[in-house]
Amino acid sequence: MSRRDVAVLDFGSSKVSCYIGQYGSNNSFNIKGSSEVEYAGFSKGAFLEPSSVKMAVGLAISNAESMAHEKVTEIYVGVPGEFCAVVCKDCFLNFNSKRKISNNDVERLFYVGNTFKNHPTHTVINNTPIYFTLDDNRRIIEPRGMYSTRLAGLVSYVFAENNFLDFVEKMLMELGIRKAEYVCSPLAESLYLFDPEIRDRYAILVDVGHITTTVTLTRGDGLLFMSSFSMGGGQISGDLYKCLKIPYSQADSLKRKVVLSLDASDTDFYELSGKDYISPFSARVTNEIVKARIELIAKYINKCLEVCEYDIPAHLPVYLTGGGLCYIKGAKDFLAKNIGKKVIIKAPDLPTLDRPHLSSVLGLLNLALENQTYGSQVLT
């Protein structure tokens, strides 16, 4: 691969995505190769069809390689929230005398605080700072270059399940990938979607995917809190399939026609048309089915926020991303009504790539390129 290019592999709950690219002009990306391959996905922290994952990953990588005209030998792997956990820890270093804080000092702080090296079921894949403090106890974002007799900080350690890492590592080796770097996908997403000014004041991000939802609270350059549950847009299609007794493919198409802001009456219908048919469906009944599932998703989001140990400012909005709800007309406002917070759809701020379902893979690509450019300031 070109020295400027990176390859990333993102595990969504319905598709595996591989992107190969580099930074472009005006904070954009030059995507040289990309591929999305559907697969069964995962639920409750396990792949639904483990035997088919390798085929999907291999095809995604191969398609991206063909488009980019280069071979992938190293790759950054996004670990979904369902396979991750977050622990925040106060860490500190004392120096013999006042000294200029270096990058090595920051890395040493992270290392000293990482007391989880022999954890039996999880491995720390990322460590990032929420904030730092010096000997005057001021909270700062960047300590490098400042003078102090002490360096301390609240550090966010992100763990990945060893079962996931071992499974993916073996699979990639069989595909000829000689090196993999693992990144928590929700962390990469939050760092990419939010400017530092927003993160410094806290940011809640809810990524609703096909069959998984992850709720994160970000501050500084790290995750304070993360929780996931196995529910998303796929369950909405499933509810329409069961309640209306129609094929799943039609249920998924019907979901895309829904307008929840419509005050539907018994005379309002959504129509699905095929080669040999036109099928009408009651808009009122369809909306009620969709709303019932979104109410349940909202209930689980609220449960996640309730168990967060940090005080979340009441005025803080919820940013919504992912492909599970963002494309349903009126879903944002209905979700806001049910969680009691303002909801704002968040997507990459890029022409042609400004789609919520791309937040995860582009966040991963951005973090991988930052790590390549600046070294291990954001990844460990």
The pLDDT tens digits of the residues spanning 46-60 come to: 999 999 999 999 999
Is residue 379, in this structure, part of any structural domain at all? no
CATH number at residue 212: 3.30.420.40
Residues linked to residue 88 through DSSP beta bridges, in sequence order: 156
SS3 200: coil
Domain count, the chain: 3
Is residue 133, in this structure, part of any structural domain at all? yes
| Backbone angle region of 347, left / alpha / beta, with phi > 0 → left and psi within -120 to 50 → alpha | beta
**In terms of residue numbers, what domain contains 145?**
84-161
Q: What average pLDDT does range 201-222 have in this prediction? A: 97
Q: Within this chain, do residues 178 and 38 fall inside the same structural domain, yes or no?
A: yes
Q: Within this chain, do residues 205 and 157 fall inside the same structural domain, yes or no?
A: no
Q: Within this chain, do residues 156 and 205 fall inside the same structural domain, yes or no?
A: no
Whether the pLDDT of residue 376 is over 90: the answer is no
Is residue 42, in this structure, part of any structural domain at all? yes
Please tell me the pTM assigned to this model: 0.93
Q: Within this chain, do residues 250 and 368 fall inside the same structural domain, yes or no?
A: no
- Could you report the per-residue pLDDT of 233-270, keeping only the tens digit for each? 999 999 999 999 999 999 999 999 999 998 889 899 99
CATH number at residue 108: 3.30.1490.110
Q: Within this chain, do residues 183 and 36 fall inside the same structural domain, yes or no?
A: yes
Contact 155, 89 (CB under 8 A): yes
Whether the pLDDT of residue 377 is over 80: the answer is no
Sign of the torsion formed by the C-alpha atoms of 184, 189, 194 and 198: negative
CA atoms within 13 A on the CB side of 368: 32
2-24 burial, b at 16+ Cβ within 10 Å, e below that, comes to eeebbbbbbbbbbbbbbbbbbbe
Cα separation, 355 vs 363, whole angstroms: 12
Is residue 1, in this structure, part of any structural domain at all? no
SS3 215: strand
